[in-house]
Structure 1
Amino acid sequence: MKTTLLPRSAGRHINGWTITSVIGAAVVLLPILYVLTGLFRSPNENWDKVKQFLIADYVLGSAKLVLFTGFFAAFIGVVLAWLVVGYTFPMRNFYKWALVLPLAVPPYIAAYTYSSMTGYTGVIQATLRNRFDIAVPPGTIEVMSARGAVFVLTLFLFPYVFMMTRVFLERQSASFVENARLLGHKPLSVFVRVVLPLARPAIMAGVMLVVFEVLSDYGVANFFGVQTVSTAIFQTWFGMYDVQSAMKLAAWLMLAVIGLFMFERLLRRSRRYAGAANRSNPLKPQQLKGIAAWGAAAFCTVVFLLAFLAPIAQLAAWSIQHGGTVWRSDFADLTVNTIKGAGIGTAIILLIALLSSRAARMFDSPFMQALTRLLSAGYSVPGAIIAIGVLAVFIALDEQLSPLYAAMGKPEGSLVLSLSLSMLIAGYVIRFMATGYGALEAGYEKMPRAYSEASRTLGRSSLATFFRVELPLLRGSLLSGFVLTFVEIVKELPLTLLLRPFNYDTLSTRAYQYATDERVFDAALPSLLLVLIGLVSVLFILKPERS
């Protein structure tokens, strides 16, 4: 009897859909794996100096930033989530969705905005001096420090924790909280003994997103002079012109990210959380009265003012006062570059995501599920790591293609792909594949399989079923994936700074360059446009809640 290593249905699974998924996963993983090989490369002289004199400070700076930002973001996010879910107070329905809006403001834009606002000549100290005759001691409210970096990152990243915790509590906490209240537990006891343990998975998921964002950050840390591993990668690459040492730093940072991810999964694996309530039995909020009600509203207002209204108002004022100089320069070119890069990257991402999500739908096997999950790996990897991996892979491709370049009349050793927009697009595809794939995967999960099965029963081919039945039903998911991915690419800073072609600037890179050159007023208009684009993404996410 003849035996085979593969099941009989394996041949059916190897088709265009599967091959596309494999290629997509390889594209995502190859640069990341290439970076990890840096751990095994022989160190050079620069690496010895970095390891001896600098790496301890870089690691300590990253650890402090992650620890304090994660703690304060978790505290603010969880408290706000419990307030808007568990209680009724003035403007509660507004803050229920408005407290997510700070996600529209890139932290590096908030960094230089608050730096100028809180400086000696900024609007805050100037108003206190000129109108109220109050002199603020030097350094009291200025944010140009590690504390300022924590302040900015906390304010503009806490919505991750808030959003995930709020949704979890709305759907899963009703019976537990109501039973605790019936048993006579005070509000603080309910929060500490019921809400916190129950919402731990959502809290940890939100905190991990904050941690990944902090580890990926370059703009805030560099602007405030905080030494982190991400800033070290930039300094080693552009300061020492040493890609090899930068790759070693990126590899160690990658190991730290993988370790954190596995640790968080291990913590969640040891416990099981079951929901005792569903959407038909939501948690009934208690009515706050008097000082408690206005205190909750005041807390939400202060956070919303600091995390959204104040920086937006300041950017708008600067844009009105000084935006003319930016409009008269190369602002149109910046906008075209931004839209072109983000548009091409988004189109490629959605194409691969569409084919891969369909393959996972057709062949629901552990292999396909693992393969499609690999497509999302890039989102948890800092942009600086992806940039180094992509650069190394493209340089290797140029070396392999050098005979072809010579035949085309180009000088020996020419770098064609490594100096093109293609390298930046590849970085975008790897970094943000998870955004497009997640939207389309959610669209397929909402689509009953009976529709596709009925089409096949009526004699239509798999391809015809895809175009005639599935694709029209995925129209909303495609739009959602396009908007979310496009906006993420437009706001991306570290990846764009590292991989952009020569003399290729976008709104994000130019805004950051203006800010680092202390031309804050010129940076206001491109920054405000980036924030408005980000608002489109956030409002798209919040559309079901506001309707």
Structure 2
Amino acid sequence: MLPILYVLLGLFRPTNENWQIVKQYLLTDYVLGSAKLVLFTGFFAALLGVVLAWLVVGYTFPLRRFFRWALVLPLAVPPYIAAYTYSTMTSYTGFIQSTLRNQFDIKLPPGTIEIMSSKGAIFIMTLFLFPYVFMLTRTFLERQSASYIENARLLGRSRLSLFIKVVLPLSRPAIISGVMLVVFEVFSDYGVASYFGMQTVSTAIFQTWFGMYDVDSAIRLAAWLLIVIIGLFVIERFLRRNRQFNATTSQSRPLKPQQMKGIAAWGATAFCSIIFLLAFIVPLTQIIVWTTWTYHKIWRADFIDLMVNSLSGAAIATAVIMIIALLSARTARMLSSSLAYGVSRLMTAGYAIPGAIVAIGVLAVFIALDQRLSTVYEWLGKGEGALVLSLSLSMLITGYIIRFMATGYNAIESGYEKLPRVYTEASRTLGRGNTKSFFKVELPLLKGAVITGFILTIVEIMKELPLTLLLRPFNFDTLATRTYQYAIDERIYDAALPSLLLIGISLISVLLIVRLEKEK
């Protein structure tokens, strides 16, 4: 929590001349840009996710079983990769317009397809983030809504009335949870907004830091963004303060879908197919084609170093996260107190905070540590005012640990929830101590949760862009940063190979989630 608290304290520091300029001329545009992106993306992602979830849960139609898991796959494509892919495909020289001109002699007027805009950013973010809402809403409807929906059908509700009057109110907790994840991702985004030239608070933090070289103003911007995110939490909790969603019976069964026939059935298949093609198949196919054009040039000696950097940094951070997660989850389980639960929640708060904010807080703390250790550095011959910790890989790894502690901890906590206490108690009764009981009894039974948490965490770290851009040591590139650099330099085809590797790694994570959900 220390870096996050350091950012919040930035609100109470004296302002400088740069902040007055930002406040007077730029802040309004930054805030409006972020608000527009968050509101519209959240609305359209919720709409798309809920409609698709209700289709695959409530009805049977051709390819329904396929779409049930396939519509989660767009999560494997990072939005910033989708942004440059679609912008290049839809440009004047891109595949779409060139095919229309050369094959069908159709010339579109300039500006007909305009992806490089705020509307394009909303389109990209919606298309590649809606699976959060889809996945949570689908799971909720499948497991907890059968009796309510079947009763509504027996009482004569039409399809539209059933959706509006029963499905939407019933699914509200799942919808809100999914939308909050989308909102956090949009607030955290830097790649899409930067590439499309949008003014958002995240891009403002980078511009203030690297354009004005003013860390204090960047911290102040980050603090205000953090206040907004905390405010969203408070508002969401306030709206749910007197609402409880409880089943009237302990028996639950899966919802039996209703048969769709004729035009309605094929219309549902067509709708799901279009979304799946746009959100996964089209960008993936285009990136594979570009990779075949450029991999001979890109796959050189330093690309191996790039992969080693990505894997080593992510693996070290993930290993530390899993060790801390095991220790803290076991402590919270043994103590069973509200204090232990509260501390564990605070430990995982970094996941809800944009990477740029975490990065600024970590940098500020590490610079303060270097100042405290300056006499030690002089004694070691590093020179006066040397920056050792704040120019090292350890700072980046610390940022990863704070940002992604939640993925590792939640996996371990979920594993402990399925592990009866009687096993540990039996081990203690038979003479084993606390430590031996953990290694001999608990850890073998938690193996699946540990592996799941490790894979999910390492994939999330490898995809992270803004935090890596801000905290990486000099000449330390990862697949995510190299992809972004190629895209910013308009070397789109060169960016295809690292993009394809990132999508492949992300795909492993998404398929793992699907498999684990199926096993449950």
Q: 1: distance between equivalents of 2:6 and 2:516?
A: 41
TM-score, scaled to structure 2:
0.99
Match for residue 380 of structure 1? 352
Question: Among 82, 88, 99, which residue is 1:116 paired with?
Answer: 88
Q: Deviations over 1:358-405 (max 9, x none)?
A: 001111011111111111100000000000000000000000000000
Moved beyond 3 Å, runs of 4+: 276-280, 544-547
1:90-169 correspondence to structure 2 within 5 Å = 90-169=62-141
Alignment RMSD, CA only? 1.0
Q: 1: distance between equivalents of 2:288 and 2:182?
A: 27
Question: Among 196, 206, 218, which residue is 2:178 paired with?
Answer: 206
Alignment length, in residue pairs? 519
TM-score, scaled to structure 1:
0.94
Letter of the structure 2 residue corresponding to residue 530 of structure 1 = L
Checking the alignment, whether the CA contact within 8 Å between 1:175 and 1:277 is kept in structure 2 is no
Question: Among 312, 318, 328, which residue is 2:290 paired with?
Answer: 318
Checking the alignment, whether the CA contact within 8 Å between 1:172 and 1:276 is kept in structure 2 is no
1:460-471 correspondence to structure 2 within 5 Å = 460-471=432-443
Match for residue 430 of structure 2? 458
SS class of match (2:493): helix
SS class of match (1:275): coil
CA positional deviation for 1:238 = 0.2
Match for residue 472 of structure 2? 500
Q: 2: distance between equivalents of 1:519 and 1:294?
A: 41
Q: 2: distance between equivalents of 1:293 and 1:151?
A: 26
1:3-82 correspondence to structure 2 within 5 Å = 29-82=1-54
Q: 2: distance between equivalents of 1:280 and 1:400?
A: 59
Unpaired stretches in structure 1, ≥5 consecutive residues: 1-28
Confirm whether residue 171 of structure 1 aligns to residue 143 of structure 2.
yes
Question: Among 397, 401, 407, which residue is 2:379 paired with?
Answer: 407
Change (3 A) 1:403 1:474: same
Checking the alignment, whether the CA contact within 8 Å between 2:144 and 2:253 is kept in structure 1 is no
Confirm whether residue 520 of structure 1 aligns to residue 520 of structure 2.
no
CA positional deviation for 1:314 = 0.4
Letter of the structure 2 residue corresponding to residue 515 of structure 1 = A
Confirm whether residue 482 of structure 1 aligns to residue 434 of structure 2.
no
Match for residue 448 of structure 1? 420
Match for residue 438 of structure 1? 410
Checking the alignment, whether the CA contact within 8 Å between 1:337 and 1:505 is kept in structure 2 is yes
Checking the alignment, whether the CA contact within 8 Å between 1:175 and 1:276 is kept in structure 2 is no
Match for residue 389 of structure 2? 417
Checking the alignment, whether the CA contact within 8 Å between 1:172 and 1:277 is kept in structure 2 is no
SS class of match (1:520): coil
Checking the alignment, whether the CA contact within 8 Å between 2:53 and 2:138 is kept in structure 1 is yes
Identity, in percent, stands at: 69
Confirm whether residue 370 of structure 1 aligns to residue 370 of structure 2.
no
Q: Deviations over 1:270-302 (max 9, x none)?
A: 211113577852111000001000000011000
Change (3 A) 1:115 1:277: farther
Question: Among 293, 312, 315, which residue is 1:340 paired with?
Answer: 312
Question: Among 501, 506, 513, which residue is 1:541 paired with?
Answer: 513
Change (3 A) 1:375 1:415: same
Q: 1: distance between equivalents of 2:314 and 2:227?
A: 29
Change (3 A) 1:229 1:148: same
Letter of the structure 2 residue corresponding to residue 382 of structure 1 = P
Q: 2: distance between equivalents of 1:276 and 1:527?
A: 48
Checking the alignment, whether the CA contact within 8 Å between 1:378 and 1:431 is kept in structure 2 is yes
Q: 1: distance between equivalents of 2:50 and 2:472?
A: 38
Letter of the structure 1 residue corresponding to residue 353 of structure 2 = V
Letter of the structure 1 residue corresponding to residue 460 of structure 2 = E
Q: 2: distance between equivalents of 1:272 and 1:249?
A: 37
Letter of the structure 2 residue corresponding to residue 113 of structure 1 = T
Q: 2: distance between equivalents of 1:231 and 1:117?
A: 24
Q: 1: distance between equivalents of 2:248 and 2:276?
A: 32
Letter of the structure 2 residue corresponding to residue 425 of structure 1 = I
Confirm whether residue 88 of structure 1 aligns to residue 88 of structure 2.
no
Letter of the structure 2 residue corresponding to residue 449 of structure 1 = R
Change (3 A) 1:545 1:248: closer
Unpaired stretches in structure 2, ≥5 consecutive residues: none
Checking the alignment, whether the CA contact within 8 Å between 1:97 and 1:542 is kept in structure 2 is yes
Checking the alignment, whether the CA contact within 8 Å between 2:143 and 2:252 is kept in structure 1 is no
Letter of the structure 2 residue corresponding to residue 510 of structure 1 = R
Q: 2: distance between equivalents of 1:481 and 1:298?
A: 36
Q: 2: distance between equivalents of 1:60 and 1:75?
A: 22
Q: 2: distance between equivalents of 1:493 and 1:517?
A: 16
Confirm whether residue 185 of structure 1 aligns to residue 168 of structure 2.
no
